[in-house]
Structure 1
Amino acid sequence: MSNKQIFRILVINPLVHSTKIAIYENDRNIFEQNIQLNDQKSDIYDQIECRKNAIVDTIIDLGLNLSSLDAVCGRGGLLRPISGGTYLINEKMILDLQNEVNGKHVSNLGAILAYQIANNLNIHSFIVDPVVVDEMSPIAKSTGLPEIKRKSIFHALNQKFTAMELAKQLNKTYEEINVISAHIDGGVTVGAHRRGEVIDVNNGFDGEGPFSFERSGSLPNNELINLSSHASMSEHQLKQKLIHHSGLKAYLDVKKMDEVKTLVRQKDKKAMEVIEVMAYQIAKEIGKMAAVLEGNVDGIILTGNLAEISFLNEHIIRRVSWIADVYTFPGESTLLALARGTLRVLQGREQAKEYEIV
C-alpha cells in the first residue's frame, strides 16, 4: 500500500469496563494504556461516543499528532463466519455488528471505534482474525443430529498469532506447518491448524470441549438434560451457570484467575487436583486434533493466561509430548497481534480482505 518504512498503527481492544489501546511503530509498542470506562451505560452501543472521545483525548494528551497515524485496527467481534486474515472495515461490517447478526459482545465495539476514528482521519481501518473465523472442514461440522451443526467460534487471533510465531522458530511459514494450538483462559479452545487454516476447533464460547476457568466444557447429555429439567432454572440462568459460573470458578470458589495462580503457588491440594483434571481434558482434546491432522503435527502450542501455570503445562505435556514438541506462549498478545496483522497489509505482504454479506 505504501513505500514507507515505518508505519504508525493505533490498535483498540474494548473490554467490559475499559478500552485497551496501543500505538505501534511497525511491531514496536511505543505507547499503551488501559482507559477506564467512566460512562457505565448498560447498553454497550451507548458507550461508543464516550469510548471514542476517551481514546482521542488520551492520544492528544500524550502529545502525539493524530494525523501521524497510518491505520487503526480494532478487535473483531461477532460477525458472520469468515476466513482468517486482515479485513478492511466497511459499512456492511458495521451494520452487522450493530444488528448483532451473530450475537452481542463488547468486542463488537472494536471495529466500530476503529472505523469512526479512521474515517475522521481519512485513513484505513481493519480487524484481524475475529472469533468467528470459520475454516472448518464440512466433516468437522457434522454431529449425530442432522439438524445441529458445530460452529467455529474460538480464540482465532491468539491461536493464529502464536502459530505464526512458532512457524518463525521453525524457519517456515504458517502456511507450511501443521500445528495444534490450545488457548487456555476464561474459555479453552484447541484448534487443528493445517497449512494456514484451522480445519477443526472446539467452540469454547458455548463451552464445548474441556472445562476452563469459568465454562463447564462438554457434559454428559443425560445429566445435562436432568439438570435443566430439575434445577428450576430459566434458560438464561442455565446458560449463565454453564458459561460463566462453572469450571475452576465452581470447583475452587474463586472470581479471578490470579486467585487460581495463588492457590497453585501455595500448593493447595484441591486446586492441584482440579488443575490436573483440567490438564487431562485439554490433553484429550489435543489428542483428538492430532487425529484430525492424521498424526502429521509439527508442534503443539499452549497459550493463554492459564498457560502461565507451570503445573498445568507440565501435566498436559506429559500426556501429549509423544505427538510432537510442545511450545509454550503464556498470556495473550492481542494488541501486538492486531498490529502485526495490520502491518502485513500496510507493507504489502498480505492483501486485505473485503467483508461481504453472502
Structure 2
Amino acid sequence: MGAAHFGAPATTGLTKAELTEWACRWLAAGNAALTFTGPVPSALDIPLPAGEPVSHHQDPPLITVPTLIKSQKQGVALSLLVPSPDADLLCEALRYELLARLRHDSGIIYSVENFTTAIDNDQSQLDLILDPVRQNTVPTFREGINTLRGVVDAGFSEDAVQSARHALMTELGWDDYIPQDHLDQLAIDTLFGRSSRDRQELLDRATNVASGELTKILRASIGSLIVAFDKSVELSKADVRGLGLAMDRYEIWQRNKDPKNAKSAAEVDAESTTWRHKSTQARLTLTPTRLMTQTSGKTRTILLADVDVVGDHSCGGISLMDYRGRTCDLNMDEWKAGKKLRRKLLEAFPPEIIRSFSEE
C-alpha cells in the first residue's frame, strides 16, 4: 500500500485493437463465471468460444520483513498478509481496535477504511487506511503500530470480536438474498482454482470465533507488516528504529555508488545524448540502457529495463513507473530542447508500455 502514485490506469488510451485482443483472450468459456441470487433461468444460453487456457502467474513478494514505505499519498496505511479464511473477521476486529484507540481515546484520526484482497488460496492482503490531519501523521504512525503490537501482546478485546462478528453476520445474514460481494468472490475463487467457504460456513465461523483465535492469527502475521507513510512529513530515525521497521529507501532514481564510473560509461557511449536544465546546473543524459541525472556532482540513474509503464501526457510531460510502482514525472518545459527530449524518451521504450494520459 502507498507505493504506486501513477494516477488512473489510462483507459482512455486503449485502442480498438487492444480491446479486441483482450476480449479474444479473456472472454472464453474456461475463463468466465456467472453468479445468480436465484435459480438459473432455463432459457439461459450464452455461447462463448473455448479459448486458450489462461495461466495466472504470481510474482514473489518484493518485501519480506516489516518495512516502512515513504509514500506520496497522505496519511498512514497498515498492511498485513493473513490467512484468507479469517481475513474479513481479523480486518473488522483490527478496525475496531484502531478506532477505539486512535479516534475515541486520542482523537488523532477521523476513520479507518479496511480492505481485504485474496492473494492465493491461503493468504489475503489486509489493508487499513488511517486519515489524520497532517500535523497528527506522526502520532498516528506511532499509535497505529503500537495498537497492532499491543493486540498481539494482550489479545483482542471482547468488544472488538463482537464488532467483527456483528459486521460479518450483518453482511451475510439476510435470509432472502445472498450479498453480491460474496457471490463475486465465489466466482473469482472458482476462476483461480481456489477453495472457498460457503455462506453458512462463514456465518458459523463468525458465530463461534473467539478472541484467542484471532489474536493467534494476528501474532503469526505481524511479521508481514508494511506501513505506508506520508513522505512530506518528517519522521525521525529514532521513531523508525524504535518500532523495529526496516526503511524502504528504494526510489526510481538510484544513486550510483561510483559516480565517476557512471559518468565515464555515459561518455564512451556514442549514442548518449545530454540535455541541460533551463534554470539550474542539472543535466539529463539518455543512453540506450539508462536515463541519468547529474546534479551538484551526484549522479542518479533509472535503468530503462526497469520501467514498466510510460505515461505520455497530453500536456507534453512524461511519467515513468518502474516494476516496484515507483514513479517520476518529467516536465519537458524545464529542459532545453524539451521537444527533442520528449521524442527521444518515447523512442527509448517499447511501444506497448507507452500509454496516452489525458489531463482531464
TM-score, normalized by length of structure 2? Answer: 0.30
Larger Rg: 2
